[in-house]
Chain A
Amino acid sequence: MGLKILTEHINVPGIETLEVYRKHGGYKSVEKALKTMSPDEVVEEVKTSGLRGRGGAGFPTGMKWSFLAKPEGVPRYLVCNADESEPGTFKDRWFMEKNPHALVEGMITSSYALGANTSYIYIRGELLFVLRILEKAIAEAYAAGLLGKNILGSGYDLDLHVAPGGGAYICGEETALLESLEGKRGNPRNKPPFPAVKGLFQSPTVVNNVETIASVPWIVNNTGAEYAKIGVGRSTGTKLISASGNINNPGVFEIELGVPVEEFIYSDQYCGGIWKGKQLKAVVPGGSSVPILPANLILKTAAGEDRLMSYESLSDGGFVSGSMLGSGAFIVFDEDQCIVRNTWNYARFYHHESCGQCSPCREGTGWMEKVLHRIEYGHGHQQDIDLLVSVAKQIEGNTICPLGDAAAWPVASAVRHFRDEFEWHIKHPKEATAPGAVYRGQLDAITA
C-alpha cells in the first residue's frame, strides 16, 4: 500500500490515549507551529500543500483560510465539520473513533494558524459515542497543557469544545451547521456574507471537514512542498475512501490520490472485487449526491483513458460521462441491484432531509420521490421519465444551498445512464415488480 499520512498509526493499540499517541510522534506539529512558526507561515504551508477540502466540495483549504477576515478586537472561530451524513460516507466517524487525538492536534495547529482562541467540533448527534471519545482526548490534552491558557509556554490560548447535532443531514452544509451550533434549526443562511466574514456568533469563521483538519499536522511537520509531491496533479496528498456496497472488503482505505479506479475496486488491498463473484454494474464514487456511473464509464473515461481516483479524473467528461470525487464515498453496485429502486431510495433521503426553506427543493424533492416511487412500484407513466428530468433541472441551481443540486444530480444521472431500465419498469410493470426482478438488458453494453 502507498504512503499513509492519516492512518499510519491507526491500528496501534492504545493510540486513542495521549501517551501512546505522543509516543508515535503525536502533537509534534503543535510544538513546531507554536514555537517556531508564525500563524501566517502555517497558512502558507497549507496553501503550498494544495490540500483541498475533504468534505466533498474540494475547495483549496489554504485559500479558504486566507479569506478569513481579521478585524481588530473581534474573535475568530475554527469549526470542524464532523456532521458526516452523506450516504456512503463513514471515514470521519471511523477516524475520530480510532484516533481522536489526531483531530485534536489538527484543531490546535489549525486554530493557531487562524488566530482562533475558541474552536468547536460539531459532530452529528447520532455519534454521541464518538463525542465521548473526543471529549476524553480533549480532557487529556488540557491536562497536558496542549489546550487552555498559554499552550506549551507559547503565549497562545485555545479552548476546544465538542457540540452534538440532532439528526439532520442539512447541518453538514456549513451555514446550516453554524445555525445549529447556535442552538437553532438547521436552515442554511443566504450568502454573502460568507462565514469567513460573518460566521459563528456573527464573527469570522472557518469551517473545515475532519479529514482536512487532520491532514494539517503532517503538512506542518513535513512542509507543504512535500505534501504537494504526493498524489497526482491538483489532487495532492492522500484521501480516505469509504468503500461500501457489494464488495468483498467494505471499509475505509487511505489512498494516494491517483490510484486507478479498476485497481481500487479489484485489488485485495482495497475493495477486493465484487462480492459473490458477481459483475460490476455501477458505482457512485463520491457520496449519494454525485452522479452514478455505469461500469464502463467508472473504469474508463469516455475517451478511453483509465479513470483514476482523483478530483480531476473522476470528473472528466463533466456530467455527461463523468462524476465527482466528492467526500470519497465509493458505493459499488453489483449486477443484481435495481437502479430505479436505488434512485427512489436516494430521492426519499433528500426529500426527508430538505430543510424546507426553498420551494424548488422542498417541493421538487417530494415530486421526485413520488414519481420514482410509482415507477418502482409498477404505476409509472411513459411521460414520468421526462418529468423527472424536468423537476431535477428546476431544482438544480435554484436553491440557496447545495442540497438542491445534491438531490437533483443522482436522479438526472440515473436517467441519463440507465434510461432503458426506467423504461422497462414503466412498460413491463408486472415483470419489474416481481420479487427479485432486475433489468439485465443493458448489462452487456455497460460491462463490455
Chain B
Amino acid sequence: MAGDNIKMAETINEVKFSDAAMAEIQRYISHYPEGRQKSALLPILHIAQAEFGGWVSPEAMDKVAEILNIKPIEVYEVATFYTMFNLKPVGKHVLEVCRTGPCCLRGADQMIDMIKQKLNIEEGETTADGMFTLKPVECLASCGSGPMLQVRELYYENIDSEEKLDQFLEMMRNKEHETPTWAK
C-alpha cells in the first residue's frame, strides 16, 4: 500500500550523498549515451559504499535508483549479484582475504586460520569492538604476492608469516581509511 510506504520513508535516516560524491556520480553518468544512464550503476554503488560506512543499505540503494531514474529492484538485483557490495553493516576494516588456489600454495589457508584465532571471529563475522570484519574472497589478481588481502581500495601483499600479520593488524588498528580520490 502506497500510504504505508510513505510513512516508512519518513522514519528512516535520510540518505544524502556529499557534493563531491554527487559530482563523481554525475561524471560517471556522463560516460554513457543518452538513455543509458543505468550503465553507471556499478560505479555508483562503489561510491555509495565508500560514502556510507562500507556497506549499502536498502535506503542507499533506493536513493541510487532515484538518481538513475530506475526501479529499486534493478539496483537490488545488481547489488546482490556482485560480491564486493556488503549488504549488512560491517566493521571499520573489512579484511578481504584471498582464499583461492595460488595464494593457498603460499600459505593463505594458514593465514586465514591465524586471523580467525587472533581476532576471535569466524568468516563473515565482525569483532566485538567493530574494528574488523573477516571476509574471505576469491582471487584478487595478486597470485605472485600471496598470501594477501584487500581493505577498501588497497592491497596488502606477501603477508607470509605470523609476525607480518601481527604488524599488519596493529597498523590497521590505528589507521583511518584513505579518502577516495574523488572526495579529496
Contacts of B99 in A (CB 8 A): 345
Residues of B within 8 A of A242 (CB): 143-144
B35's nearest neighbour on chain A, judged by CB, is: A201
Residue B142 at the A interface, CB < 8 A? yes
Chain A residues with CB under 8 Å of B140's CB are: 126
B143 in contact with A352 (CB, 8 Å)? no
Interchain pairs with CB closer than 8 A, number: 148
73-102 of chain B: CB within 8 A of chain A: 74, 77-78, 81-85, 96, 99-102
Cα A6 to Cα B76 with chains together (Å)? 41
Q: Which of B110-133 contact A (CB under 8 A)?
A: none
> Nearest chain B CB to A347's CB is how many angstroms away?
10
The answer to the question of B138 belonging to the interface, with a C-beta cut-off of 8 Å to chain A, is yes
Q: Is the CB of B78 within 8 A of A243?
A: no
In the complex, the answer to whether B100 meets A345 with C-beta atoms within 8 Å is yes
Which one of A92, A125, A169, A246 has the highest number of Cβ atoms from chain B below 10 Å of its Cβ?
A: A125
Q: A86-B139, A201-B33, A337-B105 are in contact. Are A244 and B146 (CB under 8 A)?
A: yes
Min CB–CB distance B57 → chain A (angstroms): 17
Tell me whether B100 and A185 are in contact (CB under 8 A): no
Closest to A126 in B: B140
| New A-B contacts (6) at CB < 8 Å, excluding given A166-B78, A167-B83, A243-B144 | A84-B141, A126-B96, A166-B82, A183-B40, A250-B144, A353-B138
The CA-CA distance from A243 to B31 in the complex, in Å, is 36
B154 touching A129, Cβ below 8 Å:
yes
Question: What is the CA–CA distance of A337 and B106 in the complex, to the nearest angstrom?
Answer: 10
Name A125's closest neighbour in chain B (CB-CB): B84
CB nearest to A91 among chain B residues: B141
Interface 0/1 of B43-80, CB less than 8 Å to A:
10110000000000000000000001000001001100
B141 in contact with A180 (CB, 8 Å): no
Interface string of A166-196 (1 = CB under 8 A from B): 1111000000000011111110000000000
In the assembled complex, the CB of A76 is this many whole angstroms from the nearest CB of chain B, namely 13
14 A-B contact pairs sorted by A residue (CB < 8 Å):
A84-B141, A87-B100, A88-B102, A128-B153, A163-B42, A167-B82, A182-B36, A184-B41, A184-B78, A244-B143, A252-B144, A288-B139, A331-B101, A353-B138
Q: Which residues of B contact A164 (CB under 8 A)?
A: 42-43, 46
Assembly CA distance A54 to B5 (angstroms):
51
Enumerate chain A residues within 8 angstroms of B139, measured Cβ to Cβ. 85-88, 169, 288, 349
Question: Which A residues touch B143, using CB under 8 A?
Answer: 87-90, 242, 244-245, 250, 329, 331
Report A-chain residues with C-beta under 8 Å of the C-beta of B102: 87-88, 244-245, 288, 331
* CB proximity of B56 to chain A, nearest CB, Å: 11
Contacts of B31 on A, CB cut-off 8 Å?
120, 159, 161, 163
CA distance A126 to B96 in the complex (A): 10
Residue of A nearest to B68 (CB): A183
Question: Is A124 in contact with chain B by the CB < 8 A criterion?
Answer: yes
Q: Does A65 contact B (CB under 8 A)?
A: no
Is the CB of A333 closer than 8 A to any CB of chain B?
Answer: yes
Of A120, A168, A245, which contacts B83 at CB under 8 A?
A168
| Residue A366 is within 8 A (CB to CB) of chain B in the complex | no
* Interface positions of A from 319 to 365, Cβ below 8 Å from B: 329, 331-333, 337, 341-342, 345-346, 349, 352-353, 355
Does A440 count as interface, using CB distance less than 8 angstroms? no
CB-based contact B81/A185 at 8 Å: yes
Q: Which residue of B lies closest to A160 (CB)?
A: B31
Residues of chain A with a CB closer than 8 A to B100's CB? 87, 288, 345, 349
Check: A127 CB closer than 8 A to any chain B CB: yes
Assess whether B144 is in contact with A251, with CB atoms less than 8 Å apart. yes
* A88-129 contact mask (Cβ, 8 Å, vs B): 1 or 0: 111011000000000000000000000000101000111111
Q: Which residue of A lies closest to B82 (CB)?
A: A166
Which residue in B46, B77, B145, B181 is a CB contact (below 8 Å) of A250?
Answer: B145
Q: Are A244 and B144 CB-contacts (below 8 A) given A125-B42, A183-B38, A183-B78?
A: yes
Residue B137 CB within 8 A of the other chain: yes
Q: Closest chain A residue to B75 by CB distance?
A: A183
The CA-CA distance from A126 to B154 in the complex, in Å, is: 9
Q: Which residues of A contact B77 (CB under 8 A)?
A: 185
Q: How far is the CB of A16 from the nearest CB of chain B, in Å?
A: 15
Q: B141 contacts A182, CB within 8 Å?
A: no
